[in-house]
Chains A and B, each alone.
Chain A
């Protein structure tokens, strides 16, 4: 009985001109979006590899130089693009792609793509995630809005009931029928993406498990929409009203809720402006040790302590160069200040993230959005992981340079230069993106929220169709 109904429903769906047109449009959009995405990905990846080796080359070939000059010359690290960014770019375009690592300061990632784009890009881009997150639910609405209302308007509902099909079976059949087209389209997209990604050369981080998890997230997301659309169709009398109500749900979930949530998050847990953040940092740094200021109170205290420890009367008698030592200590102090200030920022971000989670009850879009970019490795956490790896590398580099100064030069020696070969001994910067299990563990709440939506919409659908 269920099978018959599914076949009948699918026939109706596939014969409907509106479905044919919109499904065709969606497929076209996906093709364009994936084509653009692949192209972009290839370019970015090639560029990333080239820049990384060029930068390393520049660093290695500095020639003879004072290590602290090299510290100020600094080095750049570049952010690799995650393979699944092809499907979901997440916040990538709003985050910088390179970080300048230098002595004394932790810099923000620079050169976000959004900064180089016109205001139009805020309207959205033709990317696969735009289609996955916004357009596919719309397709579900177009397929399913009249699933029940057409029976009521055509009077076939009475006939169906007189044939003895239970409401439960009817609803299950309709649910499956409306779900199948999206299931297939989405499946094709993910399969094609997977094949392309695994065939592209030098694709480091791609794995099928990640892709499959992403697919599951979208299937759950679409299940919620399908159930809600059918629910609306079941409780309204006319197709027109059903359509308009389903669209309202779409607008609220996908557009209004995220924007409102972002405003509420910002209102309750505001981010500092750049200038405020910088002046806070400077303030915090001022109070402590500064490698360039051996006359400060803090320096003098450190000096006294060191002299006592080594039981000498002057810093020049120390077994190492005091300038290098104090430079390193200053660096450590500054790193700590940065760590503290950035922790505050991170705390603020996690407060904001909790606001989004708390508001997820008004929109299944929110948990799906966060899960999607989390799994794709393009969320803010991924960016933070990169920025923190870069900072760890910066601290390590500074120690590497200061140690050289400390152990190889004499106190008061101005012209000290490290060997030209010295720079090559600095280890490479490596960054491994967060693993899938960590991501899923991190995104537990969002996973629960999405499943909660699936269950809630199922309960609503099946209780409301009990008495149609």
Chain B
């Protein structure tokens, strides 16, 4: 039976132009989506390279200047720009703290349009003043991007629905089912084979479309992540086919099947995500940012009022920075400034981290319920592969803040030690390298979804057999 179904299904799909249309549609949408993802990635890479080149250039200038100063040559610049103090370095020569997109970044815009990949922390700024948001047109944020994740999570299921909603009902409505049912074959096996074949052809087209879209956008195919991506996409396609199989076996008319399947689509793709999101907000509300601003301001006022005591407090907490007795009173504006900065930071950090904690709580809640919708699971995993998920940006933020602290402490140490900044010190300046999150557990998700598909299939067959016994499956509605 399979070989006949195979031959004739293919003939039918080609003759009613399904395969060519699907093929064309998928290649175009995939290519456009990959193009959009890739343009974003290229823009980000260009930006990072730009910043890094600029930093290198400015470093080279700085070293030249420093060299001249050290050699006692006259330099043509205002004394404020001479980089021979640690604060001048901290103020005027920030490091570029960057998060380079990974090789699969093009598959999902993710949060990369909201958050920036580049920050340049300045020693004299508050860490909580560092703005991690990117400058994107808010309309674009509102509409979102036409990327591969969108195509796969939103559009692909709809194509599958259009491709398979009426496999059984169309036979019934045309009347061919009676002839078929009089043959010595079981109907659900026959539909199963048809579904399987349509799944087979669609996956072939998707693979080809994906490969083409990667090739024309110059995205590297030879990476292990590509296999994971394929696995996720295929299991997602299978999930929608298994739902369609269920509805085909249980449904009556084509139109009803389509309504049901669209209902499922709305449920899995729109309702579950927005409900989970909404509940996460309600359980772990993000405290008011306005209130935070108020608190921060009040703190700053307080600190500035007791400015003279601030330094003493600071030095008590950091005895290693306190200078020798004879230098006392030699502290400059910078000493006081950095000390008060530190004090404000200490006071406000608990409040500041509340936001991260709530966000993390939300995230883990979302993670706990993601399994409710395979669309969410696949979306999450694709975002992880792309390295543009919220978790990735959170990771970058944490590393960047840690670096900023490290950088400040490094220079503050020099400041309190009254160490001038020299060419030698340049080499020991802290450097930032972004460590991406580990990518594991994708296989587990694929297997779980696969099991889910099998369960749906078994359920469908079980319910169909019951209906057969009642005799309502083959005759009419």
Contacts and interface: CB of A to CB of B under 8 A. Distances in A.
A63 B273 CA distance: 51
B137 A265 contact: yes
Contacts of A48: 290
Provide the main secondary structure of the chain A interface.
helix
Interface string A16-55: 0010000000000000000010000001100110110011
B305 interface: yes
B344 to A, nearest CB: 13
B138 interface: yes
Nearest to B355: A116
Residue of A98, A240, A256, A266 with highest tally of chain B CB at under 10 A: A240
Interface stretch (A117-125, A177-185, A309-317): A117-125
Interface stretch (A267-275, A327-335, A405-413): A267-275
A428 interface: no
A97 B289 contact: yes
Contacts of B162: 244, 248
B290 A239 contact: no
B290 A115 contact: no
B4 interface: no
B421 to A, nearest CB: 22
Interface stretch (A88-96, A161-169, A213-221, A443-451): A88-96
Interface string A81-124: 00000000011001111100000000010111111111111111
Contact of B133 (A73, A115, A125, A352): A115
23 contacts: A50-B290, A58-B298, A61-B301, A94-B114, A97-B289, A98-B293, A111-B289, A111-B293, A112-B114, A113-B286, A115-B114, A115-B115, A126-B275, A138-B262, A240-B169, A243-B255, A247-B262, A262-B137, A262-B143, A266-B137, A266-B140, A277-B135, A352-B140
A241 to B, nearest CB: 8
Interface string B32-54: 10001001000110010011001
B326 to A, nearest CB: 27
A313 B288 CA distance: 55
Interface residues of B, number: 90
Contact of B165 (A240, A262, A267, A275): A240
A120 B111 CA distance: 10
Nearest to B369: A120
Interface string A242-261: 11100110010001101111
A276 interface: yes
B278 interface: yes
A71 B459 CA distance: 70
A263 B43 CA distance: 13
Nearest to B286: A116
A260 B146 contact: yes
B225 interface: no
Contact of B110 (A62, A119, A121, A261): A119
A273 B131 CA distance: 13
Contacts of B54: 279
B447 interface: no
A55 B293 contact: yes
Given A247-B158, A274-B116, A95 B138 contact: yes
In the A-B complex, the 5 residue pairs with the smallest Cβ-Cβ separation, listed nearest first, are: A240-B254, A51-B290, A123-B273, A239-B255, A111-B289
Interface of B: 32, 36, 39, 43-44, 47, 50-51, 54, 78, 110-111, 114-116, 118, 120, 131-146, 150, 154-155, 158, 161-162, 165-166, 169-170, 173, 253-259, 262, 266, 269-270, 273-278, 280-282, 286, 288-294, 297-298, 300-301, 304-305, 355, 358-359, 362-363, 366, 376, 379-380, 383, 389-390
Contacts of A270: 43
A55 B295 CA distance: 9
A273 B290 contact: no
A118 B266 CA distance: 21
Contacts, number: 231
Nearest to A149: B255
Given A50-B291, A54-B294, A243 B258 contact: yes
A188 to B, nearest CB: 21
A125 B262 CA distance: 19
Contacts of B390: 118-119
A120 B43 contact: no
Contacts of B293: 51, 55, 76, 78, 98, 111
Residue of B78, B173, B258, B269 with highest tally of chain A CB at under 10 A: B258
Contacts of B138: 91, 94-95, 380, 383
A273 B116 contact: yes
B47 A276 contact: yes
B291 A36 contact: no
B281 to A, nearest CB: 8
Contact of A55 (B286, B297, B355, B359): B297
A142 interface: yes
A173 B427 CA distance: 82
Interface residues of A, number: 86
A240 B355 contact: no
A295 interface: yes
B143 A258 contact: yes
Contacts of B280: 118, 120
Nearest to B40: A266
Contacts of B142: 90-91, 94
A354 to B, nearest CB: 12
A30 B149 CA distance: 28
Contact of B114 (A63, A114, A247): A114
A47 B165 contact: no
A428 B180 CA distance: 81
Nearest to B48: A275
Nearest to A138: B266
Nearest to A18: B259
A402 interface: no
Given A51-B290, A273-B116, 4 more contacts: A48-B290, A111-B289, A112-B114, A239-B254
A275 B55 CA distance: 12
Residue of A73, A119, A271, A276 with highest tally of chain B CB at under 10 A: A119
Contact of B50 (A120, A260, A271, A276): A276
Contacts of A263: 32, 36, 145-146
A152 interface: no
A226 interface: no
B339 to A, nearest CB: 17
B141 A114 contact: yes
A145 B256 CA distance: 11
B140 A118 contact: no
A432 B362 CA distance: 35
Contact of B294 (A58, A108, A240): A58
A293 interface: yes
A383 B274 CA distance: 25
A270 B304 CA distance: 42
B294 A55 contact: yes
A243 B142 CA distance: 28
B78 A273 contact: no
A349 B135 contact: no
Contacts of A244: 161-162, 165, 258
A54 B298 CA distance: 9
Contact of A262 (B39, B145, B161, B362): B145
A361 interface: no
Contacts of B389: 119
Contacts of B141: 91, 94, 114
B139 A243 contact: no
